[in-house]
């Protein structure tokens, strides 16, 4: 063996050793950061003991939310596992410089009153929409942020076109769905109709959550009343997110009045 190859062997072994040490240091720092109360819950769904992170946003995530982040694209969020991946110094610095609470003060600054924050018990579909609105559309960043990419949501628009069907009736019907007060949703054939086709009482609601594609329709959600279950399909994910939130808000207000 030549001197050169011995030298290069020594160098590469010591480099590998340095990288390992470097990595171990970073792992220790990350473990310490995860023990901070600010980071004990997933930044997006509140699940305990997150073990993943978005290294550019500087937040810790549970495995489910990390999977959702991964689909948003690396220009929005870059996901790494605290335990399985090796981290660059700069990435550790980013998560060190922020924490989940601080990050949410920015990303959730513009949430409407009574907002029903999705949590870990909700469907993947709802969490996907929440995370997309939050980071890709920047729907809730502070009001004074000036960014052409911001897509706000209109929670005050409490009516709109949807497709509706019961779980028994097989066909979808296009309906104009509208809140009347906080305790009923009425559905009409046309927005100008005086007489509705029917109504959904928001008292004592059970499940209000997104469901995956039903009979060729996307952006579906379910509303369970004590008597019936309704399936509603929206034009897009943002509309679905707003409907689910507004119905949950109304239902929670009715519950609080009891």
Tokens of 142: 């502070």
Nearer to Zn ion, 44 or 91 (CB): 44
Q: Which residues contact 19 (CB under 8 A, 6 or more apart)?
A: 86
Nearer to Zn ion, 6 or 124 (CB): 124
Q: Residue numbers of the site for Zn ion (CB under 5 A)?
A: 42, 44-45, 47, 62, 65
Give the bridge partners for 52, in sequence order: 61, 81
Nearer to Zn ion, 52 or 187 (CB): 52
Cβ(196)–Cβ(186) below 8 Å: yes
What are the φ/ψ torsions at residue 75 (nearest 5 degrees)? Answer: -75, -20
Nearer to Zn ion, 57 or 202 (CB): 57
Q: How far is the CB of 43 from Zn ion (least distance, A)?
A: 7
Measured CA to CA, the distance from residue 96 to residue 103 in angstroms comes to: 12
Q: How far is the CB of 77 from Zn ion (least distance, A)?
A: 13
Q: How far is the CB of 66 from Zn ion (least distance, A)?
A: 8
Q: Could you tell me where the beta strands, DSSP code E, fall in the chain?
A: 52-54, 59-61, 79-81, 159-166, 173-180, 184-188, 198-201, 208-211, 220-224, 229-233
Nearer to Zn ion, 36 or 145 (CB): 36
Q: How far is the CB of 30 from Zn ion (least distance, A)?
A: 17
Q: How far is the CB of 246 from Zn ion (least distance, A)?
A: 23
């Amino acid at each position: 063996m030549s001197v050169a190859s011995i030298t290069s062997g020594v160098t590469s072994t010591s480099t590998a050793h340095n990288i390992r040490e470097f990595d171990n240091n970073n792992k220790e720092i990350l473990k310490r950061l995860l023990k901070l109360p600010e980071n004990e819950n997933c930044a997006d769904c509140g699940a305990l003991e997150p073990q993943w992170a978005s290294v550019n946003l500087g937040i810790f995530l549970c495995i489910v939310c990390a999977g959702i982040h991964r689909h948003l694209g690396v220009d929005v969020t870059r996901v790494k596992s605290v335990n399985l991946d090796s981290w660059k110094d700069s990435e550790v610095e980013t998560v060190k410089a922020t924490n989940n609470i601080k990050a949410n003060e920015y990303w959730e600054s513009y949430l409407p009153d009574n907002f029903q924050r999705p949590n870990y018990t909700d469907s993947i579909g709802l969490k996907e929409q929440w995370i997309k609105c939050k980071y890709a559309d920047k729907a809730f960043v502070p009001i004074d942020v000036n960014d052409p990419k911001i897509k706000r949501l209109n929670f005050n628009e409490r009516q709109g076109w949807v497709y509706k069907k019961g779980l028994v009736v097989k066909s979808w019907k296009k309906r104009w769905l509208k809140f009347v007060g906080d305790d009923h949703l009425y559905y009409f054939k046309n927005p100008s109709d005086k007489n509705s086709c029917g109504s959904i009482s928001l008292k004592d609601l059970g499940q209000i959550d997104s469901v995956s594609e039903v009979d060729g329709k996307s952006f579906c959600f379910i509303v369970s009343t004590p008597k019936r279950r309704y399936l509603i399909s929206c034009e897009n994910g943002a509309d679905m997110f707003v409907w689910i939130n507004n119905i949950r808000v109304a239902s929670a207000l009715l519950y609080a009045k009891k």
